Amino acid sequence: MTTATHAATYDDRNPATGEVIAQIPESSHDDVDRAVRAARAAFDGGKWSSMAASRRAKIINKMAALIAERANELMLTEVRDNGKAVATAKGEMGAIVDCFEFYAGAATKNYGETMPPPLPTYLANTVREPVGVVGAIIPWNFPLLLASWKVAPALAAGCTVVLKPAPSTPLTAIELGKIALEAGVPEGVLNVVTGSGREVGQWLVEHPLVDKIAFTGSTATGKLVAKTAAETLKRVTLELGGKSPSIVFDDANLDAAVAAAIYGIYYNAGQACEARSRVLVQKNVYDRFVADFTERAKNVRVGNPEDPQTQVGAITIPEQFEKIRSYCEIGKSEGARLLLGGERAQVEGANANGMFWSVTAYEADASARIAREEIFGPVVTFVPFADEAEAIAIANASEYGLSASVWSENIGRANRVARAIRSGTVAINTPYAVFPGVPFGGYKQSGYGRELGIETMRLYSETKSVLTYIGEKPLNPFGV
Ligand code: NAP
Ligand code: MG
């Protein structure tokens, strides 16, 4: 592993306390170039890309084992870097191990195909080859988890990687780099560059020796990434923002639907791309649902992220805290009815630098900005609907299409609605819908490409067609 040469560093802070926890290199253009060249040389050298898939699988499994072994330490690092509740981070560590194990298994199953012979004297088959050098760019909300969603399939496919974490949460990505080396991933295969997106991220997307960009972040940055990557025709996958709805019908198990709706928005302080930030409720159960939600949401424990009892920790970056505050102002000016929260949360023992926001709920018109735009915080908006058709229309009246939930005991209706919704995931009667093996990604402006699936392996591969002539008579097309 080579390290940054550039002298500049910046402060990495714990958002729950404001304390500086690390000095992080602000990678220079030269650092990024060296990381890309290291990845290129490792790829072209073939040590990893041409290694037997079963051997790659063993090494990726070893990464999973090392992560499991260090789960407690990684979890605490994540909590201090990101501000999330330790209970949330603990769940992520399990999911990260599962992700590496899933793709270790997938490494040996990146099958090609054999076609029906195009001519009787031909054999035609495809092989899947690694796409090359991957630039992986991730946001700050699930730092190690989202890194694993990219690094695990990329490594499994035989690619080499330059990983750029978000500047506010780089610590677990750096640890992942060390874990890879310890597990036996050859030098140069996984590289980590830190620094800002505007510079370091942009250079990675521009670099002519990078073959693919796997990006998770906001829709606005995703569009910029796609535009920049087009200059060198890089392969691009984009996991972007969302304004995901929960649709609750009058025949739903309302008790379970309320519990899931509370979790669906306040989990990770609402800083989740798939957060169910719009809850559409059928009119005849609307008042009951909203009253129950508001009452029970008061029990959600916002507090010190390191306390195992805490369910909602700090907001990760000041810009995000400001964004949440400003959306609550917008809600007020739009005439939305505030049902809960709407202000900085008072957390016992926290100092003035701790960025905590209270669990917040509004009732608003479907056309209100707070009901349409991604807030990315613990802020939910309730919208009533009359019938199935109106529920579908409101759900789909969004530029996003990442996730949705449907709550109904009528399984025919639930599946009908699931089909009508334009989003990459639909969860029926459950708060949990993200698992390794189940593709995750967006429709519309929530991006393109899928993570977590077996199909994801294809997005880190190129298909090569191999045609073999097996006839006895030599071919001589020009008869020369
Ligand atoms: P962001 O501003 O788009 O940043 C994402 C990453 O891109 C960061 O590492 C960022 O670095 C970098 N970046 C910024 N400008 C860049 C450029 N010009 N070229 C290359 N990289 C650049 O997103 P965010 O605000 O950190 O994250 C929140 C967003 O991510 C939300 O919209 C959320 O919905 C989405 N998200 C989606 C998923 C999903 O799977 N669909 C999962 C989680 C989050 P800097 O921080 O220095 O700008
Ligand atoms: Mg930090």
Nearest alpha carbon, ligand 1 atom 48 = 197
Judge whether 257 and 223 are in contact, CB under 8 Å.
Answer: no
Ligand 1 binding pocket includes 227 (Cβ within 6 Å) = no
User: Ligand 1 atom closest to Cα of 202?
Assistant: 19
Number of Cβ within 10 Å of residue 263's Cβ equals 14
Predicted pLDDT of residue 126: 98
Q: Is 311 helix (H, G, I), strand (E, B) or coil?
A: coil
> Homologous superfamily of 9-240+446-466 in CATH?
Aldehyde Dehydrogenase; Chain A, domain 1 (3.40.605.10)
Answer yes or no: 273 catalytic: yes
Judge whether 448 and 460 are in contact, CB under 8 Å.
Answer: no
**Which position among 175, 273, 374, 451 bears the catalytic label?**
273
**Which position among 92, 239, 374, 451 bears the catalytic label?**
239
Nearest alpha carbon, ligand 1 atom 7 = 197
Predicted pLDDT of residue 1: 53
Number of Cβ within 10 Å of residue 384's Cβ equals 21
Ligand 1 binding pocket includes 454 (Cβ within 6 Å) = no
Ligand 1 binding pocket includes 169 (Cβ within 6 Å) = no
Of all ligands present, the nearest one to the C-alpha of 14 is: 2
Phi, psi of 369 (to 5 degrees): -60, -40
Q: How confident is the model at residue 388 (pLDDT cuts 50, 70, 90)?
A: very high
User: Ligand 1 atom closest to Cα of 149?
Assistant: 40
Nearest alpha carbon, ligand 1 atom 35 = 217
Hey, which of 137, 145, 221 would you mutate to test ligand 1's pocket, going by the most ligand atoms within 8 Å of its Cβ?
Answer: 221
Predicted pLDDT of residue 174: 98
Of all ligands present, the nearest one to the C-alpha of 228 is: 1
Mean pLDDT of the region 359-374: 97
Predicted pLDDT of residue 82: 98
User: Ligand 1 atom closest to Cα of 140?
Assistant: 26
pLDDT tens, 418-446? 999 999 999 999 999 999 999 999 999 99
Question: Is the per-residue pLDDT at 208 higher than 90?
Answer: yes
Q: Ligand 1 centre and the CA of 280: distance in Å?
A: 28
Answer yes or no: 69 catalytic: no
Whole-number Å distance between alpha carbons of 380 and 254:
17
Q: Ligand 1 centre and the CA of 239: distance in Å?
A: 9
Nearest alpha carbon, ligand 1 atom 44 = 273
Q: Ligand 1 centre and the CA of 105: distance in Å?
A: 29
Helices (H), 158-218: 171-183, 202-206
Nearest alpha carbon, ligand 1 atom 42 = 273
Q: Please give the CATH architecture assigned to the domain spanning 245-428.
A: 3-Layer(aba) Sandwich (3.40)
Of all ligands present, the nearest one to the C-alpha of 240 is: 1
Kindly state the tokens that stand for 100: 């590496």
Q: Ligand 1 centre and the CA of 166: distance in Å?
A: 7
Ligand 1 binding pocket includes 402 (Cβ within 6 Å) = yes
pLDDT tens, 277-328? 999 999 999 999 999 999 999 999 999 999 999 999 999 999 999 999 999 9
Domain ranges (residues) in the chain: 9-240+446-466, 245-428
Q: How confident is the model at residue 61 (pLDDT cuts 50, 70, 90)?
A: very high
Judge whether 342 and 328 are in contact, CB under 8 Å.
Answer: yes
Phi, psi of 248 (to 5 degrees): -115, 115
Nearest alpha carbon, ligand 1 atom 23 = 217
| Residue 425 identity | T
Question: Is the per-residue pLDDT at 80 higher than 90?
Answer: yes
Q: Is 168 helix (H, G, I), strand (E, B) or coil?
A: coil
